Each structure stands twice: as C-alpha cells, then as structure tokens.
C-alpha cells in the first residue's frame, strides 16, 4: 500500500482520530504534525522536519528512538513467538523478566503480576491490597479504604481515577468513583496548609497525614503515592525524607504502601527506582512507561512475599486473585523490556546522568530569574517550570489564556516537541539525550518562555 501524503494523513486524523487529553475543537483548527519516524532523541515528521523529543514521548522513552539493539531483539523474538497466554502456561520471556525485575527493584518485591499499562498496574495493586486484608481478617475486614494525595494522578481506569486527586481530570467522574481519604499534597510552592516550603518548613502536610492515618487506620487498606514526584500534578517534587516518613507511618499504623513508579521508575530520578533514593521498599509497586523504553505497552505490579502468601490456599477456599489481561506477559513486550535492561548495563546509563542533572540544575537556576517563572521543580531528569502572571504573589495565568500551550507551540519553531501541564512547562527528555541536545532543549525552552510571556 502506498503511503498517503501529509495532507491525506491529516485529513484521516481529523476525520477519525479522537486524541487523549485534547480539546478537539482546538485540534480541528490546526494542521497536525504527522510523525513518521524516530531517530535517537528526535521525532521526524512526514515532511522531514525534526523535533527534539523533550517529553520522551509522554515520559516513556529511555534510550532514544529506534535503538538497533532493541529493534534486533524484537525482530528475533517475532521469529520465535508472538503471543502466548499466561493462563495455564508461562513463557520464557515473562519468566526471565520477572526474575530480573525482582533482582533490581527494592529488596522484598519478589512477585510480579503483568498487565498492559500504568493505570492497570495501579488498579491491580489496589485490588491486591483490598483482597489481602480480606484474606487476613475474613469478609468482615474493615480495611476497605485508601489514603491518597491531592494533585495525584495514577491513571484513567475507574479504580486508578478514584485514588487520583486532580479535579480537572477526575471531577467529572466523581459519581462513578469510590471515596478515599485524601491527604494534602506536598506542593510547597502553593502549600494548602500555609507552610513556608523552605528549609524551616514544619512539614504540616506530614503532620496532617499522620493525623489521618491515626484516625482511619482501622478502615484503611493502603496508601497510594507517587514517590519523589507527583508528575501529572505539575512535576511536584516532594521534600527530602517525605517518602521515608510515609513508609514509617504506614508501618506504624498497619497500612500497605503502594508506590506508583509508572513515571518515576527506570532511572528517571537518577536511581533505577525512586523509592531507592530514600531506602524504602513499598508493599506493592506499579511499573510501566519506561519498562519497555517506550517501545510497547507493558506493566508490572510487584508484591512482597507476605502479600502473595495471603492468596495461597486450597482451590475451594476461593483465595485466587481473580484478575487478568489478555496480553499479560506478552513475550514481545517482555523482550523489549529485557533489551532495555541490557542497555542500562551496556551504556552505564545511570552513571552517565550526573553531568546532565547538574547541567539542568544550572539552567533551571537561570530560568528561575525570568519575570514570569514562579517556581522551578527538579528531580533527576524531571523538571517542571511553573509560569505565573505575577511573580510577586504567585498569581497564575488564567486557564483560558493557554500560556503553557502557547509556549510549547512556540518551541516547535526551535525544533522542540513539548507538552505542558496547564501552565507548567515539562522537561522530561530521553535519559540518553546528549549534552549538546540537552543544551538545544533548554535554549529553546528559554527562548519560547521569553517570547510568549514577554
């Protein structure tokens, strides 16, 4: 079949494709960029224009686009096996990947349950935590609720939305959701509890979290947290020691800790997993996005042996975890993940990040002096630049002004692809980005912010 030209592809898209998180009225007024190829840190459109991928194709790309090593592994796997169910069978790729994940994740996370994406990985963790308490205490277990954080995002299936905390995304679905116990977000720049957010902060958010735990411990099955960074909430970086304290409180009050590392896992915070930065092992961990380096949909929910053992019993006891997905443990997707893990070792990728992170810190300090930059948030290879109408009092730009969107559109003129979170400009490049490319990215972001904010 002959490849259609750009105008035909745009027409097909506008006539048939409904895009995620997109106001389609605005989209229909645009001439969409049609991406046809990827090469390293760049996306290439149907007319040959190159765009530095500043958001790692929505936080998934690790080693750059179309790495020959991953491509070859996938081609070889496709000659052997495309798909085989894990219902009544296993496959070599799923078994080997599970072993490697158990070896590299925080100690004690020995059991791997596969699914397809981050939302399902979190959904599985929620159901596991709920059913775990049922098995321990019987059908009368009162531990049926979850503690969540405001500004949290854990996915778009109903359970994952229920434990989210962003009204913009989740408010319309409120009648469909189960209620949670919501704790304050550690959003220091806009602290809802009146804290200062500086080194002398009283950590009122942690005190309120402990009060909620103490009050609701008898009815709380688990706490769901994005460790170190609430990504979709605006790249909100938690204060040092926050995750470790949450772990201590969960232990104190008998609450399972569920770590959503869908976005922050696989080197994004400079450690392989964010929980490692504070020496924490959660009871359940959700992984996706960087798991396959952005190649294929795959997710994993990791559990401790204690949680797994609660589901063991005679067939008639009905302790089985009745949950599954058609493509659970798909061998092609698992192959991509294994090839990605090999590249972490071959390229010594984590060791290479120090200079890039230091450079980002330097550039963020400079951006922080711009008239309409209210706050800079940075952790490893993650950055968020919050733009404000008034720097002195932190007054945000009106939503309808689309300032973040306009900055990202301006960035295309400088050869960048960016995607904002409201008025927060996201910096989330492939981990393999070169220093020269990183300079191009930050130069373009600065020029774009200056052009739009005046």
pLDDT at residue number 137: 81
The residue written with tokens 């952005």 in the block is 294
Confidence of residue 194 (pLDDT cuts 50, 70, 90): confident
pLDDT at residue number 198: 58
pLDDT at residue number 332: 98
The arithmetic mean of pLDDT across residues 393-402, rounded, is 95
pLDDT at residue number 196: 62
SS3 of residue 145 by DSSP: strand
Confidence of residue 193 (pLDDT cuts 50, 70, 90): confident
CB-facing half-sphere around the CA of 132: CA atoms within 13 A: 24
Q: Quick one: which of 104, 35, 9 has its CA closest to 342?
A: 104
Query: Residue 160 and residue 286: Cα distance in Å, rounded?
Result: 11
The full set of domains in the chain, from first to last, is 33-62+350-453 (3.90.1150.10), 72-346 (3.40.640.10)
Report whether 263 contacts 229 (CB < 8 A): yes
Residue 435 has pLDDT above 80, yes or no: yes
Query: Residue 209 and residue 396: Cα distance in Å, rounded?
Result: 27
Report whether 266 contacts 100 (CB < 8 A): no
Report whether 418 contacts 428 (CB < 8 A): no
The arithmetic mean of pLDDT across residues 160-167, rounded, is 95
**Alpha-carbon Rg of the chain, whole angstroms?**
22
Provide the mean pLDDT of the chain.
96
Give the pLDDT confidence of 103-150 residue by residue, as tens digits.
Answer: 999 999 999 999 999 999 999 999 999 999 999 887 668 999 999 999
The arithmetic mean of pLDDT across residues 153-159, rounded, is 97
Give the pLDDT confidence of 230-254 residue by residue, as tens digits.
Answer: 999 999 999 999 999 999 999 999 9
The arithmetic mean of pLDDT across residues 3-8, rounded, is 94
pLDDT at residue number 138: 76
CA distances from 201 to 181, 196, 267 (A): 24, 5, 29
Would residue 23 be called left, alpha or beta, if left means φ above 0 and alpha means ψ between -120 and 50 degrees? Answer: beta
Sequence-ordered list of residues with C-beta below 8 angstroms from that of 383, at least 6 positions apart, any chain: 235, 360, 364, 376, 377, 426, 427, 428
Token code pair at residue 88:
């009544």
pTM for the structure as a whole: 0.96
Residue 216 has pLDDT above 90, yes or no: yes
Give the pLDDT confidence of 171-183 residue by residue, as tens digits.
Answer: 999 999 999 999 9
């Amino acid at each position: 079949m002959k490849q259609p030209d750009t105008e035909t592809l745009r027409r097909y898209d506008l006539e048939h494709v409904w895009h995620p998180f997109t106001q389609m009225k605005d989209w229909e007024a645009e001439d969409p960029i049609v991406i046809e190829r990827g090469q390293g840190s760049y996306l290439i459109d149907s007319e040959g224009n190159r765009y530095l991928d500043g958001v790692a194709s929505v936080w998934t790309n690790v080693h750059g686009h179309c790495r020959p090593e991953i491509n070859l592994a996938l081609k070889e796997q496709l000659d052997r096996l495309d798909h085989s169910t894990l219902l009544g069978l296993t496959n070599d790729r799923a078994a080997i990947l599970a072993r490697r994940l158990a070896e590299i994740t925080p100690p004690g996370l020995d059991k791997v349950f596969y699914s397809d994406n981050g939302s399902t990985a979190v959904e599985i963790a929620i159901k596991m935590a709920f059913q775990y308490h049922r098995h321990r205490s019987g059908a009368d277990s009162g531990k049926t609720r979850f503690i969540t954080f405001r500004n949290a995002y854990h996915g778009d299936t109903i359970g994952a939305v229920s434990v989210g905390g962003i009204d913009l995304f989740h408010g319309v679905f409120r009648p469909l959701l189960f209620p949670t116990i919501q704790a304050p977000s550690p959003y220091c720049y806009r602290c809802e509890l009146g804290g200062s957010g500086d080194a002398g902060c009283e950590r009122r958010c942690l005190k309120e979290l402990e009060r909620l735990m103490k009050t609701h411990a008898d009815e709380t099955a688990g706490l769901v947290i994005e460790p170190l960074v609430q990504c979709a909430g605006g790249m909100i970086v938690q204060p040092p020691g926050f995750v470790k304290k949450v772990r201590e409180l969960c232990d104190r009050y008998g609450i399972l800790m569920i770590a959503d590392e869908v976005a922050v896992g696989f080197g994004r915070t400079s450690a392989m997993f964010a929980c490692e930065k504070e020496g924490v092992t959660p009871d359940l961990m959700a992984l996706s996005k960087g798991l396959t380096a952005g190649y294929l949909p795959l997710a994993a929910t990791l559990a401790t042996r204690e949680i797994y053992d609660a589901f063991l019993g005679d067939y008639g006891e009905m302790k089985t975890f009745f949950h599954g997905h058609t493509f659970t443990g798909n061998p092609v997707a698992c192959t991509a993940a294994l090839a990605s893990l090999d590249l972490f070792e071959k390229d010594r990728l984590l060791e290479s990040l120090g200079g890039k992170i230091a450079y980002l810190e330097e550039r963020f300090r400079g951006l922080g002096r711009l008239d309409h930059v209210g706050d800079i948030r940075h952790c490893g290879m993650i950055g968020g630049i919050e733009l404000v109408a008034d720097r002195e009092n932190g007054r945000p730009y009106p939503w309808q002004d689309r300032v973040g969107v306009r900055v990202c559109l301006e960035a295309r003129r400088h050869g960048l692809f960016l995607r904002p979170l409201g008025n927060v400009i996201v910096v989330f490049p492939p981990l393999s980005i070169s220093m020269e490319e990183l300079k191009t990215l930050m130069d373009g972001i600065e020029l774009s912010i200056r052009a739009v904010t005046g």
